[in-house]
Amino acid sequence: MRIRIVILNISLLPVIVCAQNGIVIDGQFDDWSAISSAVIDSADDVHDTDGYPEGGSPSYVEYSDVDIIEVKFTNDAENLYGYIKATGEIGRTSSDTLGHEKKGRYYFIFTIDVDDNDTTGYQLKDGGYYPDSRGYDMNMEVEFYNGGFNTGHYINHEFTSEEEAQTQGLVDLENGIVNLAPGSYDYYTQWVTFEDSSYVVVEDRGPVYQGIITIAVSEDGHEAEIKAPMWGFLNTPDGDRIIDVGQYIDISASLEGSGELSESAANAGYTPGSHSVWGSDTAEPFHYFVTGNPMSISENMSQPTQLTLNPNYPNPFNSATTISYYLPHIETISLKIYDITGREVITLVNAKQTAGTHHTSWNSQDKFGQILSSGIYITVLEGKKLKKIQPMIFVK
């Protein structure tokens, strides 16, 4: 048995600056070869997620599937990308196909201190994670359940009671915002966001939802790559993205699995209900700068050099559509919708915004909250020097 003793000091966290893109979520990993490791983790240091004695470190369990050995992380203007290599099979769970009711769960987790502030969010040990660290606000996470993929979701931990999570938390979610505040591991909102900016609140073991978070696992199960668009973390009450280029975040990666596949449980003669040997391995946290200056040639070639308004999606649409646009530098812009007669219907954005790709959603209502009639509408993006227009079709 080997247990690592890790004394964390935030000021000593390695700063990982990666400027990379061109990561494709395809279960092939040559696209990660240029990214340096954020963490090289010890093998065979998996611990019992359920037991975290006061003042101590949790006990060891044998569970190779959750044993992290390497973590990488990178971003481009729109997305965060994570990579984990494990000793065993990432995402392996049991299923109930034999009628044994061993529907296993497995979590692939990047926990993030999004405001680089230890006083907001929760403490990792409260979730049974080790090594411990403070100030974690949000997760980008994938749940595997019952033999397969279940959800790719975001989690917000800024709540101190279930009631708070279920009232303020859901109101915030409805408004697309996250209020960063002290929180506890036990209370959170958890949601899957879709391409059209709609979302669904999920719980563990829920039905399968394919949202904007994607993951691919290698054929042998030892490696996996995840992509989570930054806009899925939602916005601050001021309307800024929670995570955006130009800021520091702290990141901790974890793998966690329910007990029926652990070697310890098997050795203990696991039968459903008799043992629950949840195991997890948490990589040491690292400090990460979300770069706004991607260096890759492919990214530079693909990035527009001027204000760009992308086609909305979906189009035609019948309730809401997502409009995205790109700003080459910080700029005050307006984004407005006009009807076919040239009447201004609504102003969606009128603000100074950072460089990069921005998304906003339009729910087919005018500025008075009235649902409009079917027809052609025009999106107009206007910057200091350029104006871009894009027609779209609303069908009730």
User: With respect to Ca ion, which residue has the nearer C-beta, 192 or 249?
Assistant: 249
Rounded least distance, CB 114 to Ca ion, Å: 6
Size of the site for Ca ion (CB under 5 A): 16
User: With respect to Ca ion, which residue has the nearer C-beta, 46 or 307?
Assistant: 46
Q: Which residues pair with 388 in a beta bridge?
A: 381
Helix (H, G, I), strand (E, B) or coil at 267: helix
Q: What is the DSSP letter of 112?
A: E
β-strands 105-113, 68-75 pairing: unpaired
**Amino acid symbol at 162:** E
**189 touching Ca ion, by CB under 5 A:** no
**70 touching Ca ion, by CB under 5 A:** no
Q: Which of 82, 91, 104, 121 binds Ca ion (CB under 5 A)?
A: 121
Residue 347 phi/psi, 5-degree rounding, is: -100, 120
Rounded least distance, CB 322 to Ca ion, Å: 25
Rounded least distance, CB 174 to Ca ion, Å: 23
Rounded least distance, CB 310 to Ca ion, Å: 24
Do residues 46 and 279 make contact, with C-beta atoms less than 8 angstroms apart? yes
**Amino acid symbol at 384:** K
**183 touching Ca ion, by CB under 5 A:** no
Cis peptide before 314 (omega within 30 of 0): yes
Q: What is the DSSP letter of 90?
A: T
User: With respect to Ca ion, which residue has the nearer C-beta, 286 or 317?
Assistant: 286
Q: Which of 74, 75, 94, 120 binds Ca ion (CB under 5 A)?
A: 120
User: With respect to Ca ion, which residue has the nearer C-beta, 247 or 319?
Assistant: 247
Rounded least distance, CB 324 to Ca ion, Å: 23
Residue 99 phi/psi, 5-degree rounding, is: 75, 20
User: With respect to Ca ion, which residue has the nearer C-beta, 40 or 330?
Assistant: 40
CA–CA separation, 231 vs 80, rounded Å?
10
**113 touching Ca ion, by CB under 5 A:** yes
Helix (H, G, I), strand (E, B) or coil at 345: strand
Rounded least distance, CB 218 to Ca ion, Å: 9
Rounded least distance, CB 203 to Ca ion, Å: 24
- Applying the rule CB under 5 A, the residues between 129 and 148 that interact with Ca ion are 135, 137
CA–CA separation, 184 vs 161, rounded Å?
8
Alpha helices in the chain (DSSP H): 162-166, 168-174, 263-267, 297-302
Residue 372 phi/psi, 5-degree rounding, is: -80, 170
Per CB under 5 A, the segment of 142-150, 226-234, 275-283, 349-357 that binds Ca ion is 275-283
- Chain residues binding Ca ion by CB under 5 A are 24, 26, 28, 31, 41, 45, 67-68, 113, 115, 117, 120-121, 135, 137, 281
